[in-house]
Amino acid sequence: MRIHLLVMLLLATTAAIAEDLTFDQAQALAGKDSASLNGDQTYALTMSQSRASSVALAKCPQPTRAAEFETFVIVTELDATGKATRSWLHGSSIVATCFKETMSHEKYFKPPHAPFYASYQMYWQH
């Protein structure tokens, strides 16, 4: 009984730690996970992020004011099927917020392990 309770406590602690990730921690995990990919996996991730950003570009407002042209970064946590389960945003414009919301509902490539963290940076050229 005592061991069973200890295991449950460890699992609950691990889940609580995972829930409390900051943007910087999630981005560091994304860097580590991306660096572990081979060429085909990197290509699959990039293409799936491109598809997700295309959906966001079609759905989200286009920048019109200088403040909306900010560079932003979205980090997504993917499950074993490639579905985004959580996301973090470094940016605060309406456009950035819409991208995060839209991209957090997309499905990406099937990662080599789960959870898998992926980072996406958007910047505007005008």
Domain covering 23-122 in this structure, CATH number: 3.30.1150
Q: Which two tokens stand for residue 63?
A: 């920048």
Residue 52 burial (CB < 10 Å; 0-12/13-18/19+)?
buried
- Give residue-wise pLDDT tens across range 41-90: 999 999 999 999 999 999 999 888 877 789 999 999 999 999 999 999 99
Q: Which two tokens stand for residue 96?
A: 């950035």
CB neighbourhood size of 107 (10 A): 14
Give the lowest-confidence range in 4-8, 99-103, 119-123: 4-8
- pTM for the whole structure: 0.81
How far apart CA 125 and CA 89 sit, in angstroms, is 20
How far apart CA 106 and CA 81 sit, in angstroms, is 11
